[in-house]
Amino acid sequence: MARRQSTAAPVDYTEKIIDIDVTSEMEGSFLEYAYSVIYSRALPDARDGLKPVQRRILYMMTDMGLRPDRGHVKSARVVGEVMGKLHPHGDAAIYDAMVRMAQDFSLRLPLIDGHGNFGSLDDGPAAPRYTEARLAAAALTMTDHLDEDVVDFVPNYDNQLMQPEVLPAAFPNLLVNGATGIAVGMATNMAPHNLGEVIAAARHLIANPDAGLDDLMRFIPGPDLPSGGKIVGLEGVRDAYATGRGSFKTRATVGIEQLSARRTGLVVTELPYTVGPEKIIEKIKDAVTSKKLQGISDIVDLTDRRHGLRLVIELKNGFNPNAVLAQLYRYTPMEDSFGINNVTLVDGQPRTLGLVELLQVYIKHRLSVVRRRTAYRLGRKMDRLHLVEGLLIAIVDIDEVIQIIRSSDESAQARERLMSIYDLTELQANYILELRLRQLTKYSRIELEKEQDELRREIALLEELLGSEEKLRALLSDELAEVAAKFATPRRTVLLESESSAPLKGTVMPAVTAPGGKTTPIPLEIADDPCWVILSTSGQLARTADQEPFGEGGQRVKHDVFSSVLRSTARAEVGAVTSAGRMLRLQVMDMPALAPTAGIPNLAGGVPAQEFMTLLPGESLVGLAPLDAVIALGSAQGVVKRVAPEYPLNRDEWEIISLKPKDKVVGLAAAGDQDLLVFITAQAQLLRFPASTVRPQGRTAGGMAGIKLGSGDSVIHFGAVGAEDAAAVVVTIAAASGALPGTSAGSVKVTDFAEYPTKGRATAGVRAHRFLKDEDILLLAWAGHGPAKAASASGVSRALPTEHGRRDGSGVSLSHSVDSIGPSPAQG
């Protein structure tokens, strides 16, 4: 082993030892490291919602020209450019950040358009040499106008290049896409939200700077997770919006399907955020092996690209699906918690912000962007006007200008002479010297004068905009609205106030979690108590305890206008009739149970009827019907049919009327021989005739002629009224044929049903509404037990006239939008 030779110290060497306190050195070094991690790596900026590596990726891809209308490039090339020019860290960290921005299950609005295997919730992505990427369309709005001095630029790590300190961010990316990050001593975990809702809240805050949390939560009721699912319990969401910290439960979307004649299965179509199907399968198998889960015979993953997520959990015979689901929620990640911790950088300092503060920081940043962009454009316009004015001076005396230039020995002399003779600035003189001869024609002068006028007009507008904070805010609001119109998508996540309102698709409510976190077990058998099945005009479905009649007391609430009210029992079945002439069997026990009330049942605790059934494209739900009584159906082409209750016992859906092409069911009602059937058409014709004239038919029959229609006419309402019902009324709403349902144009009339004479079946009936000027069609109509109630599309109750008009009279002007009419809740 070779010996190490020591070298002698230099002659002028002086030894100097400095004593340093280890504690102080460790504290200082650790603080520098912590600050570096917090500011330069782990936490997003509240303005654009991006971490430094994400910002550098988007900026470099913009600089490379990787726009959505151009081809993809290898991800490795992007990673290399970012690492070499802006982000001197490992390529794995850059690629991981790039992959996450391309995953539609991680971000609500992906910023990168990936091509290839960018991973899944259970598997990682392919190597960067195999995948390709380019910017998504939404990412262009994040980097728009960077060349107009809208943000500050800072040097890169070696001071050779410049990079933006923050991106302009044309939408609130932090709220829309959320963020996760672990720094030193702190972490951030922010949930994604719906773009349309976030922008609506931001615009409201722009118009009303003093708006509070309750005002903004009308626009943003809760997170909207990329994976869909359900959020159960909104108290934690409100806490997070108020303080920046909170938590909520997310649940999988589960339905019940009959897998075979004797096998029932739970079908999972949406999972909690960040939970993958393989993790669910593994946890279920472990719980079944350890005897924690009972009643499961098999689990199959049928997920594919065409149908999306589909986990089929097959149940053993004799097990209540609700009880099994309650166990799944307890022992597997099918129910998961999401903890919100809104830690973000504001002016370089980590802060925990609530919803209002997050939007305020974004709006302040965006106002700065708009103001700086306007000032930049104003400067460019003024510079151009300055040159145009100098050029116009030269063109007026162009021969003399040319002579001055030709007689000068050099360009500097020509410039000085031009400046002194024509009182030009150096910029104007240089611009004249650089002119081409073809720009000296008379047409150039005309064009220059037009350009001068246009520049002065634009400068005046820009100066006016810069001088008005109100106009800057209005411009910002309009730009946000444009982004929302282009990129907003419907909400994916269902928000439920409590667990009792979280039903299965086609089955009973899931287990209820009591205060303290204890789960109340679901009984295997539900008592067959009397109840009411209610469908609101806004599509909410629920059952409520037996109460007769429904009271009118208390303040009216949303969804309290009903389209169908049926008396039933908790373990019975009812039928749902669609516009395509199908009837679907619904279990009453599957519907959420509302608490008894002395007033109007609050169907805000119900759930959309679509949660219980699958409708075909173009098909809609018409109403509910009993399965043990004769019901009457009316179609848009005037066909009437009474259906005998002879339905198949082994099927969940069947056809109850054979419709002609382009025909559809518009109404139904239980109708005995003593009842009267009613048709109302778009051209204001009403026909009432005895139900006894329509004999009951089998479910495959096509019905018979109900009302004779004029050319271009169609039926808009069909129903049944008791022959002895003295309180029955007819409601008609007229408007112009070009008007849309729900607009305020037109008139409404309420008439006693007794004023209309009984006619024979297959006749044209009588006139029901006299049209006023510009009116030529009925938008909505309804006949039944009064008083009638009206509602907007969102389920909000609308008032109807209390005075009854003549049968052949006209209506009174509408003061609000009406989208549907239904019976009074007191009809119960």
**What 3 state SS string does 751-768 have?**
EEHHHCCECCCCCCCEEC
Q: Residue 755 half-sphere exposure, CB side, CA atoms within 13 Å? A: 17
272 vs 105: CA distance, rounded Å: 11
- How are beta strands 494-496 and 230-232 bridged, if at all? parallel
Structure tokens at 472: 């800057």
183 vs 51: CA distance, rounded Å: 12
Q: In the annotation, is 130 catalytic? A: yes
Ramachandran angles phi, psi of 748, nearest 5°:
-125, 145
Q: Which amino acid appears at position 489 of this protein? A: T
537 vs 790: CA distance, rounded Å: 9
804, 729 Cβ separation under 8 angstroms: yes
432 vs 440: CA distance, rounded Å: 10
CA 776-745-197 angle, 5° bins: 130
Ramachandran angles phi, psi of 749, nearest 5°:
-140, 135
795 vs 797: CA distance, rounded Å: 6
94 vs 79: CA distance, rounded Å: 6
- Closest alpha carbon to 604 in 495, 515, 505, 522: 495
- Closest alpha carbon to 227 in 204, 260, 202, 250: 250
First to last CA, the chain: 102
Residue whose token pair is 């949406």 = 270
Region for 711 from its dihedrals, namely left if φ exceeds 0, alpha if ψ lies in -120 to 50, beta otherwise: beta
What is the DSSP-derived secondary structure letter of residue 500?
A: G
Structure tokens at 115: 């091509």
Strand order in the sheet with 766-767: 715-721, 676-681, 685-690, 766-767
Q: Which amino acid appears at position 603 of this protein? A: L
Q: List the catalytic residue out of 95, 130, 157, 331.
A: 130
710 vs 53: CA distance, rounded Å: 68
Tell me how crowded residue 718 is: count the other CB atoms within 10 A of its CB: 27
734, 780 Cβ separation under 8 angstroms: no
Q: Could you tell me the sign of the dihedral formed by the alpha carbons of 357, 359, 361, 364, in that order? A: negative
133 DSSP β-pair partners: 73, 114
Contacts of 662 (CB under 8 A, 6+ apart): 637
The residues annotated with a catalytic role in the active site are 130
